[in-house]
């Protein structure tokens, strides 16, 4: 019988995706700098936030939120930054309520807070709700490419976790459009393709990563695993020329790996490949 690899495969693309991290708000809103009665609270809250004094930031922002005749942009910003502060303090429900208020008060300018809500729901394991708010953040035409790429990458990971592998591939492809040098997105997309048994597509992405990052021994294990899948002869148990070429590629992949760089799971996969593949 043609040897098969035990089911201990650990593809790194999914596990190493960057999660959108939580602070998207920078600086005091312009109208708060123009002499409004709350400009001092905004400025002080911003300083406290930058100094990681989140309780103090919450106190200053609560003055604004409770105030009268606060411009809608400033009120949205106050709710949002208070939510950011509460998120750092571990007050998840308070943060959720403030982010929702920030979006409700000024929907057309609150994409940052939609992303924060997506991040919050992701942390809580409510992936479907997280995707809804990430999509809301992506509705803005003014997002920086790196910010849009981070949100798309987070969406791809959540689609994968909910089993929507085709949507995950689409999200990672859009990530790469925004950030062509994002090798993590290539690895994550390869994982999704591998899961769907698109081994040739997965190989293309893994090979691209190895070409750009030749010291990435984790991805070399994934590449060798994918080449192994492409080398399987099927029911005939007889390799054709193309399948044999993938076997040789898998063996060549393994020869370039520095096992000192591998973690336990990848070392086990590497050892399984070395044991089962006939590389001569």
For residue range 30-57, list pLDDT tens digits in order.
445 445 677 888 889 989 999 999 999 9
Cβ–Cβ under 8 Å, residues 54 and 89:
yes
> How distant is the alpha carbon of residue 216 from its chain centre?
19
What pLDDT, on a 0 to 100 scale, did the predictor assign at position 180?
95
**What is the reported pLDDT for 276?**
84
Q: What angle do CA 75, 125, 166 make, to 5 degrees?
A: 105
Which of 26, 115, 28 lies closest to 74, judged by CA? 28
pLDDT at residue 105, rounded to an integer: 86
Say how far apart CA 92 and CA 90 lie, in whole Å: 6
134: three-class secondary structure by DSSP = helix
CA–CA gap between residue 122 and residue 201 (Å, rounded): 28
Q: Distance between CA atoms of 43 and 36, rounded to whole angstroms?
A: 11
Placement of tokens 């390869």 in the chain: 190
Q: Is 116 exposed, middle or buried (0-12, 13-18, 19+ CB in 10 A)?
A: buried
Per-residue pLDDT, 164? 96
Crossing angle of the two packed helices 241-255 and 264-276, in degrees rounded to 10: 130
CA distance 152 to 174: 7
What pLDDT is recorded for position 107?
A: 77
CA 148, 199, 8, 160 dihedral sign is positive
State the Cα–Cα distance between residues 223 and 209, nearest whole angstrom: 10
Q: What angle do CA 129, 133, 136 make, to 5 degrees?
A: 145
Indicate the domain borders of the chain: 197-280
pLDDT at 7: 32
Check residue 235 and give its pLDDT. Answer: 67
Stretches where the chain sits below pLDDT 70 are: 1-36, 109-110, 235, 280
CA atoms 102, 104, 107, 111: torsion sign: positive
SS3 90: coil
Query: Are the C-beta atoms of residues 209 and 187 closer than 8 Å to each other?
Result: yes
pLDDT for position 16: 30
Q: If 0-12 CB within 10 Å is exposed, 13-18 middle and 19+ buried, where does residue 215 land?
A: exposed
* CB-neighbour burial class of residue 34 (10 A; exposed 0-12, middle 13-18, buried 19+): exposed
């Amino acid at each position: 019988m043609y040897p098969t690899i035990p089911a201990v495969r650990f593809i790194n693309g999914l596990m190493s995706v960057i999660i959108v991290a939580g602070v998207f708000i920078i600086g005091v809103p312009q109208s708060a700098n123009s002499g409004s009665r709350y400009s001092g609270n905004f400025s002080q809250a911003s300083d406290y936030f930058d100094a990681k004094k989140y309780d103090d930031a919450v106190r200053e922002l609560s003055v604004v939120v409770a105030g009268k005749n606060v411009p809608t942009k400033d009120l949205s910003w106050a709710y949002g930054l208070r939510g950011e502060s509460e998120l750092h303090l571990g007050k998840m429900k308070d943060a959720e309520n403030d982010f929702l208020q920030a979006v409700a008060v000024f929907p057309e300018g609150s994409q940052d807070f939609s992303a924060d809500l997506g991040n919050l729901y992701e942390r809580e394991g409510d992936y479907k709700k997280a995707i809804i708010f990430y999509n809301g953040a992506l509705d803005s035409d003014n997002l920086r490419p790196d910010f849009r790429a981070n949100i798309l990458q987070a969406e791809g990971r959540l689609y994968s976790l909910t089993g929507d592998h085709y949507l995950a591939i689409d999200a990672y492809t859009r990530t790469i459009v925004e950030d062509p040098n994002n090798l993590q997105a290539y690895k994550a997309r390869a994982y999704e393709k591998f899961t769907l048994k698109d081994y040739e597509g997965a190989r293309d992405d893994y090979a691209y990563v190895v070409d750009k990052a030749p010291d990435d021994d984790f991805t070399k294990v994934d590449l060798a695993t994918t080449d192994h899948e492409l080398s399987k002869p099927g029911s005939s148990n007889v390799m054709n020329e193309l399948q044999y070429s993938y076997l040789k590629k898998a063996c060549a992949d393994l020869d370039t790996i520095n096992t000192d760089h591998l973690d336990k799971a990848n070392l086990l996969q590497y050892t399984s490949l070395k044991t089962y593949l006939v590389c001569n």
